[in-house]
Structure 1
């Protein structure tokens, strides 16, 4: 592989560099963890950060936003300094470099879509590990590493503790920084990975403010399909009309498989089948809810495209354990289900599935999304209201003021629009500012035959730990 120099990196990421032209002989890294010879990528950096980088002996700094005297300080300290207008180009280059250097001949899968991509990614990862591959994935329970804002994927690949034989990478369908969209994020990231397989789960509204229509969401998400390698395979949701349209966006694929009703990979009361051959019987499925079955079908499609033996797929899916906060039962009597549902489609599906699981009242504790704008919160509240129609329910909403950081504080307008949407649909509710109080309240009100559903993103993340504390000290 060609040696990396400051000038070469700058050229590839459309950046401008100052300082000496030095060789990068480490890895792409974040400043906190940087070692001698590493190239540090940061969305912004000031003179203090530059001084820290020099002390660590890094080879260069790459940034989009130099602040204060960052450039001048770098020049004085003879540290190569690259400024690019698009930090995503730097991180995409870093991912491609890391894969070519540390996982050159690996199988590569990209999973994107609005809902279900984390579970689908994690399940494909589990199948490939069962098949004997040394496998990397960037998916975690909070989906923190599916963006091009920082170099975490490149860093993780470089630091993987074995030779990577397969990589399953979750790609955010829409991404941005503050209020600025990273246009073509899915395309840029997928192209840098050069995947053998691309899976698209669905297209629905989320990230409102970065995108403002379903058409914009489609355009961004479909970039992953356009980023498929020559003669790769596409796995598409047959039941989603927008995903189905993506089949016409490229002719590069070797194989295209659809999952869903009346598709190549489908589900009925006998189980999940591929072209009428049963893959996993219903009794062997780890989950029975509709959205999890869609994830299973998508993961099976990716495995089939990679020629994984059917028996291995069956064994891996049957033994699969979900990520945290993916319809996870965290307590019984009463049954408490914790789910990361954070956009309208996810919220509606999760409430509907939870309502089927018990004969008592469905208690829903919903965290308002903080600092995400009024549009997504109005849509989320409307989804809550729709899900609660015609079932016995009690609803508690919370701003989670006791647990969120400054990036997730619920504004007065977000709270108001959420409540207004509920009241418009005549949904009764209790409001608790603090998540702790909301959880204590729901335990007090519910009975053993009831079901409690906890839904929300960052504002609900600490719920499991808080519940343990409450249950131990009633």
Structure 2
């Protein structure tokens, strides 16, 4: 974080300062800001966040041992550390992030990008960060830091020399994106897609679309909207963006400023031709792209990153060259594991109907003659009333793609298993197992050379760790 005095921080967040014996209001702090005492380093600022299962105030001592010199708290704690008492530490965190970004913007050339969408946020964020880091100091979220805590913590990692801040904005209810993006008013906003991820919290896909469009409304008045023209609900956001005076860049596989054709998916990566034509900005050109990341669905994420980079002044050829160095999108996202004999694709960090379908299609595409497809599937969470129907749909798709072994894990995914059986997969082709341990015991004996194995579920199902275990066992 940038250097601020204790007094300045207290004023920014509307809190009451209680300096430690060796501090006064003019004392300067500039360390890492975090809610996790284990992440503290010398000079750190600890956010004592109350939680569902524990309370951050209990860990102030551990934060001090890690090097924290300031704690933002909701009540005083006896430990010898400077403390600022506020009514709500999450509100205080947001206020601090807003002020820090505004100060760096006022004093330098910081550009802010906001990325949202039902799927692909983390991959696109990582793609774009890779492109931008060669242009200048770039800050992007760790993993999927995209909520009311993670997004401000990312913002607070900037320094006076940061050129690019890439923010990922997730939401499970209306108003959340507006609140988070409103802290920074991004110069470039990226709308990836509107799907059923978290649909239960929004009340349906149309409400989801309205929530995603909050990012358009929060953009800087002189900014750029990067829109997925393949998604009708995202393409419809163009009118709102133009009404606000935003420049619009479209991406996709149809008619768009940045589009892809000739997509080819193999076990070693995904290739296509990228066509770029932005009148008055980039001359028409066709460029080959060879991603090391698996899956056709990542092409649109790459196109979104290229379009956002163009909006920030990066040449398309440079953006593509940097994308080609990315080996995996993120841990537990289409992550190749195992060995030549048994290959594991661990994609179990999260799952929605769209991402589950895309992963199954990728499995089918990358499996060659004499090789066997194996799908290890868990539940998709936060789908609300659509959960049963969407699990049915994925079960039917797995059978219709001729996935040769389907291993369904967990009681919450049982309906997916029943759909598989109902569609005609039986006689051992599909099994239902109670948990990840049972699935591991089954798979370590079932898998054989030539198997190509997809592990896919929502985070809550815990199958990402099963994927890790299988990857290690068959490495």
TM range (shorter): 0.7 to 0.9
Cα 1:89–1:253 change in 2 (3 A) is farther
Q: Residue 125 of structure 2 corresponds to which residue in structure 1?
A: 121
Aligned length: 430
Kindly indicate whether the alpha-carbon contact (under 8 Å) linking 1:377 and 1:418 is maintained by their aligned counterparts in 2: no
Question: Can you list the C-alpha shifts for 1:150-189, whole angstroms capped at 9, x where unaligned?
Answer: 553244336xxx93221222221x14xxxxx4x4221222
Aligned to 1:178: none
Check if 1:343 corresponds to 2:324: no
> Is the contact made by 1:25 and 1:37 (CA closer than 8 Å) also made in structure 2?
no
Measure the CA separation in 2 of the matches of 1:296 and 1:37: 35
For each residue in 1:256-308, what CA deviation from the matched residue of structure 2 results, as whole angstroms up to 9, or x when unmatched? 110111111111227111128335315x3445743111111111100111111
Report the CA distance between 1:191 and its aligned residue: 2.1
- Alpha-carbon separation, structure 2, partners of 1:49 and 1:451: 44
Q: In 2 relative to 1, CA 449–39 (structure 1 residues): closer, same or farther, beyond 3 Å?
A: closer
Answer whether contact 2:227 2:251 (CA < 8 A) is retained.
yes
SS in 2 for 1:249: helix
TM-score by length of 2: 0.77
Mapped to 1, the partners of 2:436 and 2:64 lie a distance apart of 43
* 1:156 match: secondary structure: coil
The match for 1:299 is 305
Match of 1:40 among 20, 36, 47: 47
Spell out, residue by residue over 1:332-384, the C-alpha distance to the aligned partner (whole angstroms, 9 max, x if none). 323332224511110011111211222344210012357x5775753552342
Does the 8 Å contact 1:135/1:165 carry over to 2? yes
| Structure 1, unaligned runs of 5 or more | 64-70, 176-180, 400-411
Equivalences for 1:120-269 in 2 at 5 Å?
120-130=124-134, 132-140=135-143, 143=144, 145-149=145-149, 151-157=152-158, 163-172=161-170, 174-175=171-172, 181=173, 183-250=174-241, 251-260=243-252, 261-269=254-262
Does the 8 A contact of 1:111 with 1:199 survive in 2?
Answer: yes
Q: 1:378 aligns with which of 375, 383, 388?
A: 388
Q: Which residue of 2 aligns with 1:388?
A: 398
Q: Deviation at 1:138? A: 0.7
Q: String of CA shifts for 1:172-224, please: whole Å, max 9, x gaps.
A: 1x14xxxxx4x422122222122221111101111244222112211221111
Query: 2:340 aligns to what?
Result: 332
Q: Give the structure 2 partner of residue 67 of structure 1.
A: none
Deviations 1:419-439 (A, max 9, x none): 455555555531223424424
SS of equivalent to 1:210: helix
In the alignment, what sits opposite 2:96? Answer: 94
Equivalent residue of 1:157, what SS? coil
Change in Cα spacing, 1:37 to 1:253, as seen in structure 2 (3 Å) is same
Partner of 2:366: 357
- How far 1:34 moved relative to its partner? 7.8
Following TM superposition, by how much is the alpha carbon of 1:469 offset from its aligned partner in structure 2, in angstroms?
Answer: 4.3
1:111 aligns with 2:115: yes
Q: List aligned pairs for 1:283-294, cutoff 5 A.
A: 284-287=290-293, 289-294=295-300
Structure 1 pair 30–471 and aligned structure 2 pair: CA distance change class (3 A): same
Secondary structure of 2:196's match?
A: coil
**Secondary structure of the equivalent of 1:105?**
coil
After TM superposition, the score normalised by the length of structure 1 is 0.78
Q: 1:249 to 1:322 in 2, by over 3 A?
A: same
Alpha-carbon distance in structure 1 between the residues aligned to 2:469 and 2:69: 41
User: What is the CA deviation profile of residues 211-255 of structure 1, one whole-angstrom value per residue up to 9, with x for unaligned ones?
Assistant: 221122112211111111121111000011111121222434442
Matched, 1:461 2:464: yes
Any conservation in 2 of the 1:363–1:442 contact (CA below 8 Å)? no
- Tell me, in whole angstroms, the C-alpha distance in 2 between the residues paired with 1:46 and 1:454: 34
Q: For residues 72 and 77 of structure 2, what CA distance do their matches in structure 1 show?
A: 12
Provide the alpha-carbon RMSD of the alignment. Answer: 3.6
- Aligned CA distance change for structure 1 residues 80 and 245 (closer, same or farther; 3 Å): same
Question: Conserved in 2, the CA contact under 8 Å of 1:336 and 1:451?
Answer: yes
**Distance in 1, Cα, partners of 2:344 & 2:70:** 50
Q: 1:2 to 1:54 in 2, by over 3 A?
A: closer
Q: Secondary structure at the match of 1:263?
A: coil
Alpha-carbon separation, structure 1, partners of 2:176 and 2:27: 26
Partners of 2:442 and 2:384 in 1: how far apart?
26
Q: Does 1:368 align with 2:376?
A: no
* Alignment gaps of 5+ in structure 2: 263-271, 278-282
Q: How many Å apart are 1:114 and its aligned residue?
A: 0.9
Distance in 1 (CA, whole Å) between partners of 2:56 and 2:473 is 43
Report deviation, 1:125: 0.9
- Change in Cα spacing, 1:108 to 1:247, as seen in structure 2 (3 Å) is same
Q: Quote how far apart the aligned CAs of 1:455 are.
A: 0.8
- Judge conservation of contact 2:193–2:234 (CA < 8 Å) in 1: yes
SS at match of 2:341: coil
